[in-house]
Amino acid sequence: MEIVVQKFGGTSVADAEKIRRAAKRVIETAERGFGVVVVASARGKQTDQLVADALELNPNPPKREMDQLLSTGEQQSVSLFAMALDAMGHEAISLTGGQIRMVTDSVHTKARIKSIGAERIHEHLAQGKIVIVAGFQGIDENENITTLGRGGSDTTAVALAATLGARCCEIYTDVNGIYSADPRVFKGAVKLDQICYDEMLELASFGASVMHPRAIECGKKYDVEIHVRSSGEDTEGTIITHEVPQMEGVVVSGATIQRDLAKIGLVGVDNSPGNAARIFAHLAKAKVVVNDIIQTEISADKANLSFMIEISDLAAAKEAVDQIKGEVNCDSVFVRDDIAEVSVVGVGMRSHYGVAEKMFNALAEARVNIDSITTSEIRISCAVDEDEAEKALEAVCVVFELDKSAVQRS
């Protein structure tokens, strides 16, 4: 029996009517002869509410307890989903991450999947049941509940599709596909029919919250075709896959804003071998993920070093830097928590020149100051004041014609 994995995000299971609509879609797929594995997220804004509840009691809640709490949102939605299917006359069973042996490492609140047990799912499918798995959660080797990071249900779905050898992984959400920019922020954004994993990974990693970046990594690695589509309307969405026709002809496919960032700078660090290693070893020990590291020599014996982190890691990063700053003879430390990054992404950048100039000109004309610039082979990112990020996004979208389909661009 061919298997299809269908993932429903928070807004798609927000209330009874939406769960029924999602359940109908699942039954239609089962009636076409597929084994259906559903992955559901917590309903509506429930995860945000649980985070707020935790912070009300403890401004720095233990991460293990956070996972224990946040995983309850998904447990509710999967059991309700199974009840809806039962009421519609279809046999179904809901399972938690622990019950399918979704084994992760022990890094609470951002755990990574190590292995998934497929046997139990196959058994239930063979009995004609629809299997509904709680997204976002796993269990570590000591049976502690873990979570995969905000938005992590996408990763549960793609990892399950890979493990089960599914025909495809459908991500049902509140937009009808991937757009050239967040359609809530840039109204002129256009829907893409297809996008390759490499571009989608950069977009997701730099702020396109429509997909969890690790879901894309997993899809690329295990060859899972991902179809992002609307849970509300029956239209074709966007296919995320390896090759997209005329990929190199399109220079920029999308643009993003990444918020909730902070920048830490160490000014006047001793310019001697081993200091960068010392600083980043401390940050790694504090489990802080670091991006956009920039080091510049200011004299023969001093250097400046800065890096970006997620704002949720700011307290841990600051503490790690405070512990090490004496050892590396740092003159002063600065922190910016009002910063955002605006990025443009496109595989065509590999073979076209002038992209950076065009982006910087657009920002200059919009009177947006650039704090720092980082690039990859297929991305250019500019850190700007958070207050100016939307203006900056609009300017780059217009200059790269992201309000036009690829064939209409000049």
Residue closer to ligand ASP by CB (options 151, 237) is: 151
- Region from 40-48, 223-231, 281-289, 397-405 binding ligand ASP, contact rule CB under 6 A: 40-48
The radius of gyration of the chain from alpha carbons, rounded to an integer in Å, stands at: 23
Binding mask 230-269 for ligand ADP (x = CB under 6 A): ------------------------x---------------
With CB under 5 to 8 Å by kind, the binding choice for 175 among ligand ADP, Mg ion, ligand ASP, none is: ligand ADP
Residue recorded with tokens 């001697």: 272
With CB under 5 to 8 Å by kind, the binding choice for 150 among ligand ASP, Mg ion, ligand ADP, none is: ligand ASP
Task: Give one word for 329, left, alpha or beta, with left for phi > 0 and alpha for psi -120 to 50.
Answer: left
179 secondary structure, DSSP code? B
For 119, other C-beta atoms within 10 Å of its C-beta total: 9
CA distances to 19, 46, 150, 406 from 38, rounded to whole Å, are 12, 19, 19, 34
Among 10, 35, 97, 177, binds ligand ASP (CB under 6 A): 10
Q: What are phi and psi of 219, to 5 degrees?
A: -60, -45
289 secondary structure, DSSP code? -
Binding mask 148-187 for ligand ASP (x = CB under 6 A): --xxxx----------------------------------
- Region from 147-155, 229-237, 308-316, 377-385 binding ligand ASP, contact rule CB under 6 A: 147-155
DSSP 29-73: HHHTT-EEEEEEPPSTTHHHHHHHHHHHH-SS--HHHHHHHHHHH
Among 98, 135, 237, 348, binds ligand ASP (CB under 6 A): 135
DSSP 85-144: HHHTT--EEEE-TTTTTEEE-S-TTS--EEEE--HHHHHHHHTTPEEEEETTEEE-TTS-
Residue closer to ligand ASP by CB (options 47, 176) is: 47
How far apart are alpha carbons 212 and 150 in whole angstroms? 8
With CB under 5 to 8 Å by kind, the binding choice for 136 among ligand ADP, Mg ion, ligand ASP, none is: ligand ASP
Residue closer to ligand ASP by CB (options 134, 389) is: 134
Q: Is 338 exposed, middle or buried (0-12, 13-18, 19+ CB in 10 A)?
A: exposed
Say whether residue 34 binds ligand ADP (CB under 6 A).
Answer: no
Terminal-to-terminal C-alpha distance of the chain: 47
- Region from 59-67, 144-152, 226-234, 297-305 binding Mg ion, contact rule CB under 5 A: 144-152
Residue closer to ligand ADP by CB (options 6, 304) is: 6
Residue closer to ligand ASP by CB (options 136, 307) is: 136
Among 151, 177, 219, 254, binds Mg ion (CB under 5 A): 151
Residues that bind ligand ADP in the complex, under the rule CB under 6 A = 9-12, 41, 151, 173-175, 178-179, 181-184, 208-210, 254
